[in-house]
Structure 1
Amino acid sequence: MLKGLEKGSYALLSTRLNLAAIIPMSNSLALKNLPTPVRSLLRPMLFAAIGLHALLLFTPIPSEEKPKKTDDKENPVKITQLPTAKPAAKARPKLAKPALPKINRPKPVVAVPKSPSTPRAKGAGGATDDTKNPFVDFPHYPGSVPNYQGLENLRVASGASLVSVVAHFRKALPAQKFTLTDEPEPNTFKVSKGGISYFLSVIEDGSQTFYLLGPDKLDKAKLAAIKEGKVVGIPPELGGIAKALDTTYAISQDNSATSLDVSQSSSFFEPDKDNPSNEVYVDGISETRIIDGQPPAQVYQALQATVLKGFESVTEAGTYGGGPLYELKKGKFTGGLSLVPGKTGGTVAVIWTKKP
């Protein structure tokens, strides 16, 4: 705008100068000297020039700067897609396994019990507990000597009369919550506790009184044969098999087998004649053990490196009850060891006092 005013002022000044040059005020006489037609043309031309310059003066002159063209189109917006973060996966809660109730299996009547007066020692591989064996607190006659002639649980009470020994048991057994029942044979009883039953036979021979606690009864004829050495005693190595299993695999007598644990149950169990609803071992079985998660071959290798070394010979004698049978010999004694695959896995060990 200012530039336009400056140009207009300059044009007006230029016009005045031109007019002054054409018609100087001091030279008015010269105009008079002009011819009349010329003077009649100059005056209209003067006014036309003034009008033209006035028109140019007030006409707006556009600026030299070109206005910026407005972009009708919207400026494009660059859209950047942000990476979508994957939601963190929720950790699944671990479900606690419900504790299954332990099934108490019925305990069979064992054929040849371990000495109830001697609790099993605790092994390094795990503590074994005989406190659940109801015969662990059997009240033996004071001063009696166990394992006469190598027979387990055959005791001799030297200097004690038959009457005093019998009187001791009639008083001490009920006090320890044992059930004492008289058998038809003289001085022979059936002792029961915790679902387990044994026979107790008391025999007087000279100045000594003998008594046997076990699955079989003792009479004078059998006692005479024992004293003559006709009855072979059971070596301690046989009882050591169960102890070795308890120590190696951290088990105890509570891991004894029942007919539910083997496929051929009739090879090892039979109904109790006095109580058919119960079952007992077949004749000749001393003890049984269930070893979970261990095949028979591996159990045999573990025993072969320890307790089986105490026998003079250990030979495989075929199969019995669905598993290998090993014949164990020491002196005049011949026993056996069955290692049968368990019905649900593992191994069932069966210890025999005689070859089945």
Structure 2
Amino acid sequence: MRTRALKPAPPAWQALIDEWAMSLEAENKSSRTIRGYCDSVRFFHIWLADPVAPPEADDPEAWLASVPPEPAEPEDYEPNHVKRWIAYRIATTSPGNANNNYRALSAWFHWLVAEEEIEHHPMARMKPPHIPDQPIPITPVEFIKQVLRNCQGRDFHSRRDEAIIRLIWDTGGRLSEIANIDLERDLDLSRRVVNVLGKGGKWRALPFSAATGKALGRYLRVRARHPYADATTRLWLSDHRRSTPLSPNGIKIMLRRRGNEADARGVLGRNLHAHLGRHFQSHTFLKSGGSEGDLMLLNGWTTAQMARRYGASAAAERAHEAARKIRVGDAL
């Protein structure tokens, strides 16, 4: 498959961004983090070279006049360079994307200060954009059951796909964590636990249910008969024509295909993807009485922010169920 060439930042800036990428790699940042950070700074400089006003700007000319001239050197950075670009990103993408861009730029400027390319951090007095609370999308149980029913064949792909889907929706593991499981090192079927390498290079153990263990056992039997079973110790194999393991993108494509078979667009309003399994696991764990502290450990969170968000989601559903049982309207 051909990949689209990424537009670089202006040459002087791109060279500095590439040097920063090497520094991030030396800090053992994940490839995804490095790519996200560097892309944000690259987009920032592409926009500064030819700024565009948000579509809904009342006076585009006045808005653009508030953008400082494109910096020629690192010391030319001004806070308004960042403020205007973040405002543009909020207007044209989402507060969440803008927040990610903000944090990437902050890390970029920290590095420039450490490298003595600039004396002061231009964002020192800025605050990240507020991200409004959004309802957490929870996959309906019946929909996932239908997806699993569609995987009930005895062939390799059916057994593999069912095991992957059950493991994600059971444990809440991230896509990259699930994709990179090593059969010999990470999976303990007898204890029903799998070890995964998460963000920041931290290992954690994910317990799974008997139903998931059964699906994994069935998959391991058909895996042993795969022509390339001995070519890799990675748990998930590609089809019979390939000796390479199934990649995170391969799992993403599989989930989309399995979701389409069950009308994901009609039921969910979106494609089926791995993070919906993380939403489902977190919501169901707390709704069933699990603690936010335990959920933090299971999901590899270092702060309670996400656990509290899922806690609110589970509490809201319990309140809805209580309201249905009490049936206030029936007394009228």
Q: Give the helix-richer structure, 1 or 2.
A: 2
Q: What is the TM-score when the length of structure 2 is the normalising length?
A: 0.26
Q: What is the TM-score when the length of structure 1 is the normalising length?
A: 0.24
Q: Give the strand-richer structure, 1 or 2.
A: 1
The structure with more radius of gyration: 1
